[in-house]
């Protein structure tokens, strides 16, 4: 089952991660890292490293508009590798996307399903029109074949009548002319 937007919203409340900010953008698994500052005196002090987060507008072909999102440079490189934000959202594992990525994935998938249904309906309509055109064409061809057949039958009947009329007519006329001359 694919998650819907309400299910996703309820999941946001349950998530507790050490770097919750990564759920609000496309961070591709990058989180806050912890370590030590170590000077020459070897006196260690704790510090953190944040991921390189940028705010970008990415063109989504499926949604038909730009999507403004916070993302890391690693995610940006992966988006370029996949050939766009739509492919990135559809191909990437859910644990790398986070909540915002999953929300965008659901939106893209729904738009693509709607477009696919519209394309299938248009293709079915085109196929139906082509079938009607083909049927009309076949009916015209059948009509022309019937007309040609009738014309051929008529012509052959006339030829056969002229041949039989000529043979029997000449024989019959010669006998009748012979009878007339005899009488």
Give the pLDDT of residue 74: 96
3-class DSSP state for residue 67?
strand
- Residue 93 to residue 108: CA distance in whole angstroms: 15
Rounded to two decimals, what is the model's pTM? 0.62
Give the pLDDT of residue 20: 75
Percent of the chain topping pLDDT 70: 79
* Residue 5 exposed, middle or buried by CB count within 10 Å (0-12, 13-18, 19+): exposed
Give the pLDDT of residue 123: 93
Identify any residues that bridge with 69 across adjacent strands, giving them in sequence order. 56
Give the pLDDT of residue 95: 87
């Amino acid at each position: 089952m694919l998650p819907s937007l309400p299910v996703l919203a309820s999941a946001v409340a349950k998530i507790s991660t050490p770097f919750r900010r990564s759920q609000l953008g496309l961070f591709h698994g990058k989180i806050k890292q912890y370590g030590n500052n170590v000077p020459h005196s070897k006196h260690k002090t704790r510090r953190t490293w944040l991921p390189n987060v940028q705010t970008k507008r990415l063109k989504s072909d499926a949604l038909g508009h730009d999507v403004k999102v916070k993302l890391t440079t690693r995610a940006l490189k992966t988006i370029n590798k996949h050939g766009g934000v739509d492919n990135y959202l559809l191909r990437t594992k859910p644990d790398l996307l986070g909540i915002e990525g999953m929300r965008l994935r659901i939106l893209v998938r729904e738009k693509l399903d709607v477009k696919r249904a519209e394309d299938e309906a248009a293709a079915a309509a085109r196929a139906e029109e082509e079938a009607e055109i083909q049927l009309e064409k076949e009916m015209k061809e059948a009509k022309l074949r019937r007309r040609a057949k009738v014309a051929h039958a008529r012509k052959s009947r006339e030829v056969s009548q002229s041949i039989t009329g000529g043979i029997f007519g000449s024989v019959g006329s010669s006998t009748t002319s012979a009878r007339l001359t005899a009488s």
